[in-house]
Amino acid sequence: MTSILARAATMIAPPFCWGCGADARMGDPLCAACRLELRWQGPDPVELEGVLAWAPLAYAGPARSVVAGLKYRGATALAEPMAAAIAAGAPAPMLLPGVPLVPVPIHPARRRTRGFNQAERIATALARRRGLEVVGCLRRRGSSRRQVGRDRHERHEGPAGAFVADARWVPRRAVLVDDVITTGSTLAACAAALRSAGCSEVIALAYARTPGR
């Protein structure tokens, strides 16, 4: 019944583009024009703050709008095409069978307000596509201040709040998953928590990465 209602709603109000508001194809968050504006990052991962990381897109233009749609407007269905973009282009060593995905956590207060963790939604969608396990072994505590709104110096000093890992569930190898990579300080803090709990190898994937990082 839900799918029937969803299709009926689409006929009344067709899917719109998160980049410009124009009509878009069903299941695609962007129209053809905005898809052409996407800045693809290429196949090579980069090392940020000691963590090897990769994202298919630059965090700019339409990709930035897609991230905002998921994170701030509650459009959780966007996690699927975001995960699809990661799965389609991720370098082979970044998504290996049997290596669990670990979503970057958000502060409990922010999760209560938002109702979900965007990184967890992307990780779950990615896991379904690749037959992987999602392990929620990280927690965030301390300040609930988000990265958006912090200046570049503050971001380089490290993420607001601290990360802790539950050693009972920490895998030997892990792939951190987030929506956006900015300076890499959040990934570094998460990786440090995982390593202190016994994880020997940590790499990271995201939908978008700040250009130049």
pLDDT at 27 over 90: no
Q: What confidence tier does 128 reach under pLDDT thresholds 50, 70, 90?
A: very high
pLDDT value at residue 25: 86
pTM of the model: 0.86
pLDDT above 70 (res 85) = yes
Per-residue pLDDT band at 11 (split at 50, 70, 90): very low
For residues 18-39, average pLDDT: 93
pLDDT at site 212 = 78
Average pLDDT over residues 130-145: 87
Residue 100 CA to residue 195 CA, distance in Å, equals: 15
Query: Average pLDDT in the 57-74 region?
Result: 96
Q: For 129-151, what is the mean pLDDT?
A: 77
Euclidean distance between CA atoms 93 and 109, whole angstroms: 35
Task: In whole angstroms, give the CA distance from residue 69 to residue 176.
Answer: 21
How high is the pLDDT of residue 145? Answer: 54
Average pLDDT, the chain: 88
144 pLDDT band, cuts 50/70/90, is low
* pLDDT of 3 strictly over 70: no
**pLDDT higher than 50, residue 6:** no
Of the pLDDT bands very low, low, confident and very high (cuts 50, 70, 90), residue 188 is very high
Cα Rg of the chain (Å, integer)? 17
190 close to 104: Cβ distance less than 8 angstroms: yes
Cα distances (angstroms) measured from residue 199 to each of 94, 99, 123: 16, 11, 19
- pLDDT of 132 over the 90 cut: yes
Q: Give the rounded percent of residues in the chain with a pLDDT score beyond 90.
A: 79
Helices (H), the chain: 2-12, 32-37, 61-73, 79-89, 108-114, 118-130, 152-157, 185-196
